Structure 1
């Protein structure tokens, strides 16, 4: 296993960079310029999991185009699935409220796509990807609770209009699968992708 340069996280998500920091993984952040909604719309009919991987790959490739030889770039994207329908970021309060009225008292699947790009000294880029998924079960919350939560602004820019590492933790009764997947970046999945690239995750520990 080689000793890599610091990992590059192709995401503006504070939750993802906190996950990496909490796991002791040295990294820097470079935000991609990908228009997620436009790319997903242009891609045509995909499953929610396929959409998550497509967007993760696009983010990683956008940032990798400006990296140096030897650097590693990880792109991630999350999509929430309920009744076979994919839900990304709601952006608007009215949309977030509608989502929560659909989700309350039920379970859905959160898919997170991961795409790792390694760049050789010769400049060749190799990409590897994986999707991890987890089932999320919600409390049967009231309209008043939904209104109060949406008013905080927390759900507007996160997939599915919820987080488990914030205020919405009070409204979630269970997670089946890797909880890091629901936050937005599975550390164990990252370990597997790094290993496939010949890199030990322990070499990224501070």
Structure 2
């Protein structure tokens, strides 16, 4: 029985992967709104009722694709990090460039997680941890070093409370001010990538490689990396 069960599990995992791969292929053609289980089933030579045993709804399929995309871009960021023995600025910049490289190689998956919201779809909590992997990779570069102090800035009480709650939730040994700077840097990272992929830099800093590297170095200064 265990051997039979393992064979069934492998077969299920393999077919689940094929469904996800076909859905990603169609995502590149019709976008998240145009994706349909019926079309995916047809291309795989399945009846729709069989596919529903793997993904009961389009929302479940989208969630699986979103989780995969967050994990893939997070893994790219983590793999780009040369590790604790390296200079923290080198690590920071490597994570930035690794994240950008994945996005450029997978523009449709990137658009799924950082593009326009999908009408009628609300991401479940399953996506929260994968969505934070790039941020955690960036946090890891600053927690083992003494950051340069920056001039203090007045922070609205409500924002400070949010930042302090975030620090406690993450278990990060950083100040509220540093947490907010990290959020700003995280926003700049994905904002710069999105502007590049969606053609917003055309006519200004296109190609954007030199600009992106400059932003990465500037934000390393901004968060206080030595």
Larger RCO of the pair (alpha carbons < 8 Å, separation 6+): 1
**Bigger helix fraction:** 2
**Bigger strand fraction:** 1
* Shorter-chain TM-score above 0.5: no
Structure label with greater radius of gyration: 2
